[in-house]
Structure formats: structure tokens, C-alpha cells
Amino acid sequence: MYASFKSIGAYIPPKSLTNKDLEEIVDTSDEWIKQRTGIENRFLATDEQSTSDLAYEAAKVAIERSGLKKEEIDAIICATITPDYFCMPSTACVVADKLGIKNITAFDISAACSGFVYGLNIARAFVESGLKRNVLIIGAEKMSSIVDYTDRTTCVLFGDGAGAAVIGTTDKKEEAILDVHTSSDGEYQDFLITPGGGSKYPCSQDVIDKHMQYLKMKGNETFKLAVNTLTKDVTRILEKNGLTSDDIDYFIPHQANFRIIDAVGRKLKFPEEKIVLTVARYGNTSAASIPMAINDWYESGKLKTGDLMLLDTFGGGLTWGSALVHFNQKSS
Ligand code: UT7
């Protein structure tokens, strides 16, 4: 029995925030943002929408495209760093309630931008062990709720959104998730951090006055580590599975920065047409970025059933990972 990627869905929030809009908010320019990141636009949730609302919309699409009844989903894993509530209930439980699914395993995971690949690994283990049959994994973020719109070094980078997938079973290797690798190094915990609001610096007026509830990033240091780590990680998963870039139909990386994707893509000799790029339109949507990119490629008609996807990701923790996954959605 193999685990299989049975469907994809996504939700793009309604409000567009362009680089020109950001020029009105902080000391930045369309030219700087495009040149350094490749980002042109991002979408933001409304004030009324929380992460579970975005997740719910993506999950509905993924369940419908899987051809399963919602009652057949027996676990929900939500990867997010912007949960509806600080401690509890988990966003996965809130989404389960919105979907009308009861009495199943539901929990959140915190692996920042790597959350979707981490979730994929857990879902694969659930399914291959026989513990669960159909697992809904979601990457959903309302990044605008933790972005400091007075800090030009971070606020130009992030957007909101959600993506979801159903992981089920198959007995055919050509329909399977071939491999997933996840890793971390806590030594670099301060490279991407929201310092305030947790048990170390609980919420207080002082925390708020110092903007410690917002995301902080050592951008340049993170950039260098991301390129080196991802190149090694992707090379390793290909070699381990006896594959080369020629065997991959689409390289679908985490969409943080065009320059990171380009550097890794070049080192691995991927031709341009195999590299999936959505960063210009959505910015960095953290755990949602990979499933949103898969969904874009599927909806544009490029990603077909049977295609072999190579995913890679890098984010706060630091965490990273890669995956070799056949796209096995049978219905639309
Ligand atoms: O998703 C999780 C993982 N995240 C990442 O992988 C992100 C990795 N990092 C990056 O993508 C890039 O490092 C950034 C896009 C964040 C920054 O690009 P950079 O080329 O590394 O720029 P930098 O941080 O070295 O800053 C260069 C200059 C600085 O000015 P000085 O000190 O040289 O005078 C910054 O103050 O650019 C300045 N700067 C800006 N200028 C205009 C920083 N942000 C902005 C801005 N607009 N928004």
C-alpha cells in the first residue's frame, strides 16, 4: 500500500496588494521589490476572514476533486503559523467543524513555510501504516495578521492564502508519493521569529509597544542558507531515488523569492519550463505557497494526472524539506 496525492484545492483571498500600494505604506519601490524578490502582487484576507476561513474554502475544493465524501476523510492536518487562536482550539478542529466532519483526528503543525511538506510526510506515514485511509492536509496562512506594515524588510514579502490536498491510498507505484524528507536546525531559530506572545515573552503592553508580536527575519542570512541547504536536499532526494532532473515533470518550490528558486533550479539544471513560479502573483504565503502553486499549475492545465512533482521548502525553525510526488487526481 502506498500513499497517494489524490487532489488539490486552493483559495485566494479577495484583496490585492501591489508593489505600488506598498510604496504608499513604507519607504520602498516597485523596482526594488521586483529586482530582489520577483514579487509584484500579493492577496490579503479581509478583516472578517481568519485562517480557518481560507483553509475551509481550499479544503472544500480538495475534497470535491478527490471524489470522496467528506465522511471518508479520517484525519485533518493543518500547517499554519497564523492559527485562528493562539493556543487552542487548533485551526484543524475549527476547519473540521466548518466542513461538518466530526469524530476524526485533527491537529495543527508548526513548521512555518515547510509546514505543507511536513504535513505531507505525516499524512504519508498515517496512510502507509494503515492507521488512516484519507488524510486532508492544509497549508493556510493569514500572514497579514503577523506582518508589521511599518517594517519594509518584511512587509513587502508576504501574502495570505490557503491550499489543501487529500492523501489517500494506491497499490501502484506510478501513482504514489515516492519519498518525503523533512529536517530542521534550531541553531538558527532567530533567523525567522515572532518573539512576543509566547511563554518566553507573554503578551503585554511592552511586547506590543516593541512590535514583538510581529514576524522578524534576518533576510540575507536566511537567503544564503536557503540556497545551499535546498540544493543539497533536493540533490539528495533525487539521488536516493535513482532519479535526475530529467525524470521530473515539475519542480514546485516554496515561493519565497525568485532568486532562491532560480539559483536552486540552475544548480540542478532544471529547464525554465519545468520550474513552477507563482511568487510574482502571491508573494510568500508560507505553508500555503506549495499547495497554491500546485493548484495554479493544475488549474492552468499544465499539471496532469501521473506527472512527477519535486517539491522543496525552507522556513522558520529553521526547517526544510523535499518530496517526490506523483499527482494522482483523477476527477476535476
Ligand atoms: O519563507 C521563508 C524563508 N524566507 C526566505 O527564504 C527569504 C530569504 N531572504 C530574501 O528573500 C532576501 O534576503 C530579502 C528579499 C528579504 C532581502 O533581499 P537582500 O538582497 O538580501 O537585501 P538586504 O537584506 O541585504 O538589504 C539590502 C538593502 C538594505 O539597505 P542598505 O543597508 O544596503 O542601505 C536594506 O535596508 O535593501 C534595503 N531594503 C529595502 N529597500 C527598499 C530592505 N528592504 C527594502 C525594501 N525596499 N522593501
Q: What is the pTM of this model?
A: 0.97
- The DSSP annotation for 250-309 comes to EEEE--S-HHHHHHHHHHTT--GGGB---HHHH-B-GGGHHHHHHHHHHHTT-S-TTPEE
| pLDDT at position 141 over 90 | yes
Quick one: which atom of ligand 1 is closest to the CA of 256?
1
Q: How far apart are CA 141 and CA 150, in angstroms?
A: 20
Q: What is the domain extent for residue 223?
A: 1-332
pLDDT at position 331, please? 73
**Which domain CATH number covers 311?**
3.40.47.10
The one-letter amino acid at 93: C
Q: Express each pLDDT in 75-130 by its tens digit.
A: 999 999 999 999 999 999 999 999 999 999 999 999 999 999 999 999 999 999 99
How many Å lie between the centroid of ligand 1 and the Cα of residue 112?
19
Q: Give percent of the chain with pLDDT exceeding 70.
A: 100
- Chain position carrying cell 500600494: 21
Amino acid 187: pLDDT: 97
Task: Name every residue whose Cβ is closer than 8 Å to that of residue 256 and which is 6 or more positions away in sequence.
Answer: 113, 157, 226, 279, 284, 289, 314, 315
User: Which atom of ligand 1 sits closest to the CA of residue 257?
Assistant: 11
Tens of pLDDT along 154-206? 999 999 999 999 999 999 999 999 999 999 999 999 999 999 999 999 999 99
Nearest residue (CA) to ligand 1, atom 38: 153
Q: What are the grid coordinates assigned to 174, written together? A: 506510478
The pLDDT value recorded for residue 181 is: 97
The set of protein residues with a Cβ atom below 6 angstroms from ligand 1 is 28, 32, 36-37, 113, 152-153, 156, 192, 219-220, 222-223, 226, 256-257, 260, 284, 314-315
What's the gap in Å between 188 CA and the centre of ligand 1? 18
**Residue to mutate (ligand 1; options 36, 191, 231, 290; most atoms within 8 A of CB):** 36
- 332: confidence class by pLDDT, cuts 50, 70, 90: low
Residue 223 CA to ligand 1 center (angstroms) comes to: 9
- Give me the residues paired with residue 321 across strands: 182, 313
Active site residue ranges: 113, 254, 284
Total domain count, the chain: 1
* pLDDT exceeds 90 at position 137: yes
Quick one: pLDDT at residue 97? 98
Average pLDDT, the chain: 97
Question: pLDDT tens across 8-20, in order?
Answer: 999 999 999 999 9
Q: What percent of the chain has pLDDT over 90?
A: 98
Q: Within its chain, how far is the Cα of 17 from the centroid?
A: 20
Q: How far is the CA of 220 from the centre of ligand 1 (A)?
A: 6
Amino acid at 280: A
Q: Cα(284) to centroid of ligand 1, in Å?
A: 14
Q: CB under 8 Å to 330, separation ≥6 — which residues?
A: 6, 67, 305
